[in-house]
Amino acid sequence: MSLYPNTYRLLSRHWLKRIAFFLLGIVLLYAPFALLTRLVLWVTGTPLLPDAHRICLRMPIQWLGQPWMYRTMLEQPMYLGAVLVLPAIALFVGPLFCGWLCPAGGITEYLSRLVPPRFQIDLAGRINPTPIRYGFTAGLIVAAFVGGNVCCSFCNFTHTQNLISGIFGHTLELSYWTSFTAVSFVLWFFVLGLFTKGGRGWCNFLCPAGALMGLFHSIGKAVGLGRSVQVNASLCRSCKKCVSNCPAWAISMKQDTAQVNSHMCNGCMDCVKVCPDKAISYTTNRLPSGEPAPAAPGVSSGE
């Protein structure tokens, strides 16, 4: 900190910007506001309750194993919106939804900054959560076919909506927290949230939406499509500020150079802002041969 006096100020401004987007996410996605959901329901003329369930990514996964729900998916195609749109966005620009809009990840990330680090588990750089998260997502898909119920009682997205609705007077939503829902709430909010460094332990280990977007983001990077967070090895001086500031535990050191794991990166850009040597940037992907990638639709090239 003493070496780089501007770092904290830059990051603070960056955090404020992210908090503004996080509040926007609440207004767009969650009841009692759910402005985006209301707009889609109004445009499509769908008589459904405007709340976070309309953009749920897990329900369609569970319905794959419930043939009687196929008709619902055909009649209400907006249920497939999240499954199709979010990975498509991640393919070209990365999982920016996770790092900038998702209130469920944002709420624990920001609140975890209020908890003294000595009370927090620090897993950054010690464990690679990628295979666990992919395994969990695969398990959700398999569970759907063997009669498992993987929906709301395990969903941090629903828990956050219950919190928001409760704050705005819909206290009945809080009565939803019974039995196993309360257990998963404690695991998400306290164990893997407030008391885990970065506050995104649930996202990093257990979020199927994040896994799906991380998969598409890494595919985009591998084939040279779109943009991603990248490290210029010649500028990196191994200060490890990015490693300790990444809430997604996506950065590790390899041969004294920071490396970004595109399966885990959530596009929050904290590392870009905190790097004192400007070695990390959010830039256009290139093919492994070094050839410039073909321009992605709607994405400008360069910084």
The most distant pair of C-alpha atoms in the chain lies apart, rounded to whole Å, by 62
Among 46, 66, 128, 257, binds another protein (CB under 8 A): 128
- Confirm or reject binding of residue 134 to another protein (CB under 8 A): yes
Q: Count other Cβ atoms within 10 Å, centred on residue 69.
A: 15
- Distance, C-alpha 191 to centroid of its chain: 18
| Number of continuous H segments (helices) and E segments (strands) in the chain | 14, 4
Among 122, 180, 190, 292, binds another protein (CB under 8 A): 180
- 245 within 8 A of 271, measured Cβ to Cβ: yes
Give me the phi and psi of 231, to 5 degrees please: -110, 130
**CB nearer another protein, residue 139 or residue 292:** 139
Among 5, 45, 67, 131, binds another protein (CB under 8 A): 131
CB of 255 to another protein, least distance (A): 14
**CB nearer another protein, residue 129 or residue 226:** 129
Structure tokens at 251: 């950065």
Among 52, 55, 140, 209, binds another protein (CB under 8 A): 140
Among 26, 36, 124, 206, binds another protein (CB under 8 A): 206
Q: By CB under 8 A, which span of 31-39, 81-89, 109-117, 127-135 interacts with another protein? A: 127-135
CA torsion sign for 225, 229, 232, 233 is negative
- Confirm or reject binding of residue 176 to another protein (CB under 8 A): no
- 124 within 8 A of 196, measured Cβ to Cβ: no
Give me the phi and psi of 203, to 5 degrees please: -60, -45
**CB nearer another protein, residue 187 or residue 299:** 187
Binding residues for another protein, rule: CB under 8 A, are 128-140, 142-144, 146-151, 153-154, 178-180, 184, 205-206
